[in-house]
Structure 1
Amino acid sequence: MIRYALPALLLVSALPAYAQAPASDVPLIERAKIFGNPSKTGAKLSPDGKWLSWIAPRDGVLNVWVAPASDLAKAKPLTDEKKRPIRNSFWSPDSRVVLFIQDKGGDENFLLYGVNVSSGKQTNYTPFEKTRAEVVHISSKVKDRILVAVNNRDPKWHDVYSLELASCKLTLVQQNDGYGGFLADDQLKLRLAEKPRADGGTTYFRITDGKIESTPLTEVGLDDSQTTNPLAFTTDGRTLYWTDARNRNTAALLAQDVASGKTTVVAEDARADIGAALADKRSGRIQAYSVNYLTQEYVALTNDLKADLAFLKQNTKGQFNVTSRTEADDKWLVAVDPVTAPASTWLYDRKAKKLTQLFVSRPELEGAPLAAMHPLELKARDGLTLVSYLTLPKAADPSGSGKPAKPVPLVLFVHGGPWARDTYGYHSYHQWLANRGYAVLSVNYRGSTGFGKNFISAGDLQWGRKMHDDLIDAVQWAVSSGITTPDKVAIMGGSYGGYATLAGVTFTPTTFACGVDIVGPSNLFTLLQTIPPYWEAGKQQFYKRMGDPNTEAGRELLKERSPLNYAANIQRPLLIGQGANDPRVNVRESEQIVQAMAAKNIPVTYVEFPDEGHGFARPVNNIAFAAVTENFLAKCLNGRAEPIGGALKASTAQVKHGAEFAPGLAEALQ
């Protein structure tokens, strides 16, 4: 289904004097080993089980590879991207084509491509300009075509097409005149349409014989808009599954009888929303589901999967995820995340009850001093529980107890969204920063998803206020618990996390020792003016949860919560990174606050990447910004740093302002 969801990133020869850390036996992990290309990732089994595909470097750029599932030594690259990495791929239902989406320079105008495994021929299935293609449905019951949606007719709305994979023919199935998404069954028939409401909620309509009915099937209000969604039909089309928080707080898994409309609760959890589901490959009936509160847990609904999931839990070292399954459901791919070791991918033979390791994603991190992550329940000042994650430097906590021997500098790393969440698992920024000598704390502040609708709604109209208070409360907990000291706390994040960084250095200007803002909005009014046209369906949710720019009260609120208007308050060092092609947070968001600070002679360093969008996809750019960041933080927090060296020159980074304020940056540019 396509639907609108509020969006939601070693050896050192000599360290500068400011970057010297207290002596320890923990070696510095090269940042390239953390932010460079993985060796392999994103593996998928073809539906017929004959092929295995994955993403791996080809001439330094991530591309799609494929091999017979029985002989990985015969692997070959299928694609030949020269610059921008391919980050995900998936199989056609007939197992003949590997599909992937790709944009240009981070503009998020993703087009759909496919490569024939036998011939190697690559096809652009949606050859349009300034268009974003999305997959609506792939069915194992219909082998020769899939449903896709494109917004080439009207950039605000995605029309649905049937795509014949062999001929590349697109046939219009449903013109979209104001609907946020569609749900199809396994016969590739559209069955539901969802329409955004003026109050930020959603109305769902049945589609019968290709026509959208005028009478609503059901209504969802603003409070439930993030937690209540139709998931999928069973293969026979008689049952529709929902995640549904209506008349409850956390989203339960419901089964609805299509004929009678009667719903039955399949699963619910008072702590967190029901997450991903595993469905029977033949019937479509849900066999298991996951719940992610502090950590992710699978819960089986059938005896056969109960045995499989118990076997996997017993025989894997770390948190596991079932990532791919054959149509016969005899083989699974299982990703295992031990946190303190690099993730690995395994082939699980269900009949033989056998696990075989296929690859380690980052073998260069095997044996590296990776740090444990500790799930926490912190309390906000009004009593709200904030699920959070703490990583400590190994030198400060060699036993992995979660308590440092003495306070250490801390980086508050804030997730984006804000309608998203932090989770337990290997986290590249946590590992990198902990290795540099910092405690790292990530907080699911109010407005984060996964913890029920009340927690999300508690963040409504609270950008820069109660959402920010939650972050401050977490820092105060860290100080009072002896994790850190009040003068050695930095704030860092991307997207909303970048906004939180700017809010931190403007609204609470002496709380943080410094800040690192990555693609963060500085002016909420201009942010809402420049969001992509295909986010039209979600506009009212933005307005109701952030502030409505069409009302006087809303404009005042957006003005009041925009860090740009308080730039004069900034007293601490600030580093900003931005992609020039960002469609979500326009480049002007960073430019505006840099200009405002420069006008008042307030130091700020601004690094822009002309070939990036909302975050940095190309490893050379990610490594370059990490190089600037760790040297910036080393001066601010007295941690360790790997010298910038040639990292900047290997990237497209353009230092637009303030090279002199970031340690080692001016020298690296020479």
Structure 2
Amino acid sequence: MLAKREWFDPEKQATAKPIEFKARDGMTLHGFLTTPNGSNGRNLPLVVMPHGGPIDVQDYWGFDSDAQLLSAAGYAVLQLNYRGSSGYGKSYVSAGAKEWGGRMQDDLTDATRWAIAEGVADKGRICLYGASYGGYASLMGVAKEPDLYKCAAGYVGVYDLPKMIADDTRDSRRSGNWLREWVGDPAKLGDVSPNRLADRIKVPVFLAAGGKDRVAPIEHSHMMESALRKAGVPVETLYYDTEAHGFYTEEHKQEFYTRLLAFLSRSLGGSLAATGSAGDAKAAK
């Protein structure tokens, strides 16, 4: 609740503004850009933060604690409602079908290049960070566009799509038909699974996951970590056996955000974390 987050000073909060631009195929895309309070909004280190889901989910205009935390650390934050997201009509949602690693991923690339072209982002200081599908998209982004990003952070992500489909079908979380219609043919999804593309990744990676996660089992992160280490990619991890699809213990959340800010700072130069009175991490000035 906002009432419990007294360390967020309303006078110092960043403002998110809606953005709109054309993707490479002409589709109009929508999202939000948050820039640090008091900055001129130009030539900033940028964190591209894809939302989870991915289908029929969206980022909304309003208070977002991660965007505020990152903005307070000096980063512009780009949240794209890539094709497949809700809020823009049925055709917008349908355009995301079977586009894991495809046009949904290209939308994030196009958004990144839009931010560079607009003069918002310093092209040499851009990272990806996301949770769940956002974790997948972050790792897929640095595999597909190895020269565009300086690092990637994946939080409770899925990284092997054939495994995801097999697990979901076996556990009856989603039907096999739904998965094939919206994710794709399992026989072809290895080509867009980040853990199988680790040799294409050339930048540092941070992985965080929970041992009780049934949505994105921790095995995905273990497999991703192993593949990265085999490929010689710098990787650091934060695993908690007692957490599930997201960290809820206050000490674990504090450690995660402290580690995340430190990780991003090494590639982008933003602020590190200080400890708030409520036990959460906040960006230090």
TM-score (norm 2): 0.91
Cα distance, 1:367 vs structure 2: 4.4
Q: Is it true that 1:584 corresponds to 2:215 in the alignment?
A: yes
Tell me which residue corresponds to 2:267.
Answer: 636
Q: How does 1:329-344 map to 2 (within 5 A)?
A: 342=2
Q: How does 1:488-567 map to 2 (within 5 A)?
A: 488-531=125-168, 533-536=171-174, 538-549=175-186, 555=187, 557-567=188-198
Tell me which residue corresponds to 2:82.
Answer: 445
**Equivalent-residue separation in structure 2 for 1:364 and 1:570 (angstroms):** 37
Q: Residue type of the partner of 1:390?
A: L
**Equivalent-residue separation in structure 2 for 1:589 and 1:630 (angstroms):** 23
Cα distance, 1:642 vs structure 2: 2.0
**Equivalent-residue separation in structure 1 for 2:11 and 2:204 (angstroms):** 31
Q: How does 1:207-246 map to 2 (within 5 A)?
A: none
Q: Residue type of the partner of 2:134?
A: G
Tell me which residue corresponds to 1:455.
Answer: 92
Distance 1:590 1:627, change over 3 A: same
Q: Is it true that 1:380 corresponds to 2:11 in the alignment?
A: no
SS of structure 2 residue aligned to 1:365: coil
Tell me which residue corresponds to 1:334.
Answer: none
**Equivalent-residue separation in structure 2 for 1:364 and 1:484 (angstroms):** 27
> What runs of 5+ residues in structure 1 fail to find an aligned partner?
1-37, 39-341, 343-359, 398-403, 550-554, 652-670
Give 1 or 2: higher strand fraction: 1
SS of structure 1 residue aligned to 2:12: coil
SS of structure 2 residue aligned to 1:602: coil
Cα distance, 1:418 vs structure 2: 0.3
Q: Is it true that 1:418 corresponds to 2:61 in the alignment?
A: no
Q: Is it true that 1:471 corresponds to 2:114 in the alignment?
A: no
Tell me which residue corresponds to 1:610.
Answer: 241
- Residue pair 1:516, 1:576 contacting (<8 A) in 2 also: yes
Cα distance, 1:364 vs structure 2: 4.0
Q: How does 1:129-528 map to 2 (within 5 A)?
A: 342=2, 360-367=3-10, 369-397=12-40, 404=41, 406-419=42-55, 420-528=57-165
**Equivalent-residue separation in structure 1 for 2:183 and 2:263 (angstroms):** 32
Bigger Rg, structure 1 or 2: 1
Tell me which residue corresponds to 2:283.
Answer: none
Q: Residue type of the partner of 1:392?
A: T
SS of structure 2 residue aligned to 1:485: strand
- Residue pair 2:36, 2:76 contacting (<8 A) in 1 also: yes
**Equivalent-residue separation in structure 1 for 2:141 and 2:237 (angstroms):** 18
**Equivalent-residue separation in structure 1 for 2:4 and 2:274 (angstroms):** 26
Number of equivalences: 277
- Residue pair 1:373, 1:390 contacting (<8 A) in 2 also: yes
Give 1 or 2: higher helix fraction: 2
SS of structure 1 residue aligned to 2:84: coil
Cα distance, 1:526 vs structure 2: 0.6
List structure 1 runs of 4+ shifted beyond 4 angstroms.
none
Cα distance, 1:366 vs structure 2: 4.2
- Residue pair 1:378, 1:388 contacting (<8 A) in 2 also: no
- Residue pair 1:524, 1:558 contacting (<8 A) in 2 also: yes
- Residue pair 2:203, 2:233 contacting (<8 A) in 1 also: no
SS of structure 1 residue aligned to 2:86: coil
SS of structure 2 residue aligned to 1:628: helix
- Residue pair 2:143, 2:201 contacting (<8 A) in 1 also: yes
SS of structure 2 residue aligned to 1:414: coil
- Residue pair 1:630, 1:642 contacting (<8 A) in 2 also: yes
**Equivalent-residue separation in structure 2 for 1:542 and 1:368 (angstroms):** 45
CA-atom RMSD in angstroms: 2.0
Q: Is it true that 1:601 corresponds to 2:232 in the alignment?
A: yes
Distance 1:617 1:560, change over 3 A: same
**Equivalent-residue separation in structure 1 for 2:35 and 2:202 (angstroms):** 28
Cα distance, 1:643 vs structure 2: 5.6
Per-residue CA deviation, residues 517-568 of structure 1 (Å, 9 max, x unaligned), is: 01111110011122272414x431111111133xxxxx0x211111111101
- Residue pair 1:530, 1:584 contacting (<8 A) in 2 also: no
Query: Greater relative contact order (Cα 8 A, min sep 6): structure 1 or 2?
Result: 2
> What runs of 5+ residues in structure 2 fail to find an aligned partner?
281-285
**Equivalent-residue separation in structure 2 for 1:528 and 1:579 (angstroms):** 19
Cα distance, 1:588 vs structure 2: 0.9
Q: How does 1:3-42 map to 2 (within 5 A)?
A: 38=1
**Equivalent-residue separation in structure 1 for 2:7 and 2:203 (angstroms):** 36
**Equivalent-residue separation in structure 2 for 1:445 and 1:608 (angstroms):** 29
SS of structure 1 residue aligned to 2:99: coil
**Equivalent-residue separation in structure 2 for 1:483 and 1:438 (angstroms):** 10
**Equivalent-residue separation in structure 2 for 1:374 and 1:425 (angstroms):** 9
Cα distance, 1:514 vs structure 2: 0.5
